[in-house]
Structure 1
Amino acid sequence: MQATVYKSTGSWYTVKTADGETFQARMKGIFKKNDDITSTNPIAVGDQIAIEADDSDANAKNAMITDILPRTNYIVRASPHGKNKKHIVAANLDQAVLVCTVKEPRTSQGFIDRFLVTAAAYHIPVILVFNKKDIYRDKELEKFEAIEALYTGIGYKVLLVSAKNGDGIDEVTELLKDKTTLMSGHSGVGKSSLINALMPGLELKTKAVSGWSGKGLHTTTFAEMHDLPFGGRLIDTPGVREFGIVDIPKTELSHYFLEMQPFITQCQFNNCLHLNEPGCAVKDAVEEGIIDPDRYVSYATILDSIEEETY
């Protein structure tokens, strides 16, 4: 029997079959010992799996996971349990939504760029959704417009919404319809409030941003998938403060900065890292204003972090 993983709490998984039957499932021990699985979680939300129902208790609706089916894609980040370990955030995605904010708390460009790089490496399109429009004044709106111009110029979809008063929710709904979407972002950006706006009646718990630190408080503990009432599925993930990059070699990083792609083949050296090498077309594009200098700084910063994580 085939099913989809809707929630993972470590040792137990909530899974749902095509006809809507839900089971609480456990892994066979063989998966835990499989040397090919290098992530901290061999099974992720969104995975397609094979299960065998446990008939010993008809009321319990328990099952055993007997196989993990091949993934079309997945997205990973450095595990919070160790810098050299990786954690699969979700699998079998059509797209990802990164929820951002200009204030309370401010989402840094470095965080956005790390997420975009990781998604690009796994061929997952990203939509940037800036929440909390209702608290933005002229200063914040100017910041948003600059960010919007930067990322739409690269090719990303950027939206400004308010989960609180419903502004822009219809447009988000259209983008999510009939697709499997990962939703991520810093703690406190309003992911839970946004999901509640998209799915009235779900009533996910929300918390205010911590006043003394300006940092968001975690409200989601485990990744969980929800069936959207208008079609499609949405994977809610715990808020993250950092998005550690794994499995991307230094020489490949520039390939995942979309605006750098046209210039990479024009560099004098095939293994150009676009730092101090002569004849670098990427650095020329930065100096000519074709590539945004702040994005180049993000690139150099991420490149340096990959060096640190490698050794």
Structure 2
Amino acid sequence: MTKKGLIIKSTGSWYQVKEENTENIFEARIRGKFKLIKTRLTNPLAVGDNVEFQLEIDDVAWITKIESRRNYLIRKAVNLSRESHIIASNVDVACFIFTLKQPETSFGFLDRFLACCEAYNILPLILFSKVDLLSEPEIDFVEQIKTMYQKIGYEGLLISSVSELNLEQLKEKIKDRVSVFFGHSGSGKSTLVNALQPGLDLRTGLISEIHQKGKHTTTFAQMHFWKFGGSVIDTPGVREFAMIDVEKEDIQHFFPEIFKLGRSCKYHNCMHINEPKCAVLEGLENDMIQHSRYMNYLKLMEEAEELQKN
């Protein structure tokens, strides 16, 4: 008998599937034919996938069908620069943890994350975390960053897992939704999840005093269910997000402020690099576009062009 369920844990070779409309959870494997599907993705299944499965001997579930994904987020596969790995699928809101220090978050990582959310139609939320460690001038600087991204259209929230600043507001934003949290190693992802729901006891890692970076503590993806409604997909650390099957010309669509200004360019196919009468370049000179955002736009275009060549 075929049943429907949700993938709630992935270790690479084994999965856990939660049966639809019940609390039943089964250990699951996939039929070999899924592994034969030609794809640039290293994993055929991801946490968040809706599937069909059949129970066989010893209540082992064999997954027979993967439903179409509404969206997904991808990271570059380890040691496989031309292949990618699905981090999570069917996500409602992706929360990016931005820390000014311990560790310092790079704008390149943030902008790449936001571009991926745009590309795969996922609502992003920027969480400016560890504000309990900041001085007043540093908090003012974080507020400026928050305002800068809000002008583009991205919502942000200052939070602290230690003082519990704005954690109730965060709960309201992720309530009854499938959420996922990302950030540099040591940014406090697991600590934040534990603060939102004491008792989950996700492993937390220490910051290296020498390199100011944390060690990844999550080795597989798993979905946890909030008591206040909804769920969170806990994922292994992500060093770099990826976009597959995206052409160089498409990148400007994933930077809202660049795409908006680009409509006023003289040429409809303007790439905003060195073309005459480019509204984006004029906007850059007039501080209508942040220089860091523009440089990250150029970098993503270069990567997309390189992938096209390969």
TM-score of the superposed pair, with normalisation by structure 2: 0.95
- Residues in 2 aligned to 1:269 and 1:89: alpha-carbon distance in whole angstroms: 38
Which letter does structure 1 place at the counterpart of 2:52?
A: A
1:64 match: secondary structure = strand
Q: Which runs of 4+ in 1 moved over 6 A?
A: none
Alignment of 1:1-311 (within 5 A): 1-18=3-20, 19-35=22-38, 37-54=39-56, 56-57=57-58, 61-311=59-309
Shift of 1:168: 1.3
Checking the alignment, whether the CA contact within 8 Å between 1:251 and 1:272 is kept in structure 2 is: no
Secondary structure of the 2:141 match is helix
Provide the C-alpha distance between the structure 2 equivalents of 1:186 and 1:226, rounded to a whole number of angstroms.
Answer: 21
1:79 Cα deviation (Å)?
1.5
Contact 1:184 1:238 in 2 (8 A): no
- Determine the C-alpha separation between the residues in 2 that align with 1:22 and 1:84: 35
SS at match of 2:81: coil
Alignment-mate amino acid for residue 177 of structure 2: K
Equivalent residue pairs, number: 306
Q: What is the identity, as a one-letter code, of the residue corresponding to 1:41?
A: N
Check the 8 A contact 2:247/2:305 in 1, yes or no. Answer: no
Q: Give the Å deviation of 1:293.
A: 2.1
Counterpart Cα distance in 1 of 2:135 and 2:175: 31
How many Å apart are 1:301 and its aligned residue? Answer: 2.4
Matched residue type, 1:50: E
Cα distance between partner residues in 2 of 1:64 and 1:249: 37
Moved more, 239-248 or 80-89: 239-248
CA contact (8 A) 1:73 1:93 kept: yes
Counterpart residue identity of residue 275, structure 1:
I
Which whole-Å CA distance do the structure 1 matches of 2:89 and 2:165 have between them?
30
> What SS does the corresponding residue of 1:165 show, helix, strand or coil?
coil
Q: What's the % identity of the aligned pairs?
A: 42
For residue 87 of structure 2, what is the amino acid of its counterpart?
V
Shift of 1:295: 1.4
Unaligned runs of 5+ in 2: none
Contact 2:49-2:90 within 8 A present in 1 as well: yes
Counterpart AA for 1:226:
H
Root-mean-square deviation (Å):
1.4
Deviation at 1:142, TM superposition (A): 2.8
Amino acid at match of 2:10: S
- Greater shift after overlay, 232-241 or 98-107? 232-241
- The answer to whether the 8 A contact 2:116-2:242 is kept is no
C-alpha displacement of 1:294: 2.1
User: What are the superposed Cα offsets for residues 38-85 of structure 1, whole Å, 9 maximum, x if unpaired?
Assistant: 31011011000001112x22xxx4210010011111122222231110
State the shift of 1:177 in Å. 0.3
More displaced stretch, 15-24 vs 242-251: 242-251
Provide closer, same or farther for how the CA distance between residues 38 and 241 of structure 1 changes in structure 2, counting only shifts above 3 A.
closer
